[in-house]
Amino acid sequence: MRRAPLLQVGRQRWWSAAAPAEIAAELNGLLRDPEVRAIVASDGGQTVFGYLDLIDFEAIRADPKPILGYSDISLLHLVLHARTGLVGFHADMAVPGFGGHWQAAPAARRAELEKLYARLLTDTAAIGALPASPSWECWRPGRVQGPLIGGVINRIALVQATPFAVPLERFDGAVLFWEELGGHASYVWSYLQVMRHSGILDRIAGMVVGIPRDIAGLDESPLAEIVLDVLGDRDIPVLGNVEIGHAGPNLPMPVGIRADLDAQQRTLSLLDPAVAR
């Protein structure tokens, strides 16, 4: 394991460690380095939009390797999957995840996640059922199978306004997963409306919603009611309050891998391996 140079203490440019061109150069170097077999983001941040046009997509096609992270990194997963087919791991990061939430988790949960992550990143067999928890809620019943696609909800909505938009056909029959940090409940409603207007909600087969964190207004407007309000009469299963994203230790969600979602039984299973030899 080695630390990338931009993780040096004291590196800072506004809210980031460096200018977008510097970050892209470091990322491209890691993508081209045959000794690097996986990339784990240190944190999320607000930088990926600045260097989407500087990424070496050919390096990814030539030597695909796992990239782990959530928050702003989910934008990276969406674009790289759309452009190259790379399976991105919406999963925990070094600082807030492995160095933060994992350390505060009960020992049994930490051991369960360690085993899950190891299998997902090394096993060429399908993982099967992800470990459920009492927080999972059925917001609309049903069972479907389809490829996972998603991330932070604001990134899903905003990327569609760029040349790096995810082609709408990528959402055909997909299980859309999303989560959000901060802001107000009305923002979530608006992002869902953007996805409705863009046609995404008419194409997906099911939805998995992460546990919200630090979102104002949910006491007056519960998240389940907001989701079902925007979905209207679209009869798709919705599983809510799943541990994906900012609310704690993450269940990994590999973008592009087929999943089986049974909202009524509160189960979510991975049907394909996420890595190949």
Tens-binned pLDDT, residue by residue, of the chain (277 aa): 666 566 655 666 666 666 888 888 989 999 999 998 989 887 667 789 999 999 999 999 999 999 999 998 999 999 999 999 999 999 887 766 676 677 778 888 889 899 999 999 999 999 999 999 999 999 999 999 999 999 999 999 999 999 999 999 999 999 999 999 999 999 999 999 999 999 999 999 999 999 999 999 999 999 999 999 999 999 999 999 999 988 788 899 999 999 999 999 999 999 999 988 6
pTM above threshold 0.85: yes
Whether 44 is covered by a domain: the verdict is yes
Residues 239 and 114 in one domain: yes
Residues 89 and 126 in one domain: no
Residues 266 and 151 in one domain: yes
Whether 174 is covered by a domain: the verdict is yes
Whether 249 is covered by a domain: the verdict is yes
Residue ending a domain, among 31, 64, 95, is 95
Whether 100 is covered by a domain: the verdict is no
Q: Looking at residue 1, what is its pLDDT?
A: 64
DSSP 67-121: EEE-TTHHHHHHHHHHHH----EE---IIIIIIIIHHHS-HHHHHHHHHHHHHHH
Q: Looking at residue 10, what is its pLDDT?
A: 61
Residue ending a domain, among 43, 64, 95, is 95
Whether 101 is covered by a domain: the verdict is no
Q: Looking at residue 19, what is its pLDDT?
A: 82
Residue ending a domain, among 95, 126, 147, is 95
Residues 263 and 181 in one domain: yes
Whether 68 is covered by a domain: the verdict is yes
Whether 72 is covered by a domain: the verdict is yes
Q: Looking at residue 178, what is its pLDDT?
A: 98
When divided into structural domains, the chain yields a total of 2
Name the nearest CA neighbour of 88 among 67, 57, 60: 67
Whether 275 is covered by a domain: the verdict is no
Q: Are 192 and 230 in contact (CB under 8 A)?
A: yes
Given the DSSP bridges, would you call strands 89-90 and 253-254 parallel, antiparallel or unpaired?
Answer: antiparallel
Residue range of the domain that includes 45:
5-95
Residues 43 and 148 in one domain: no
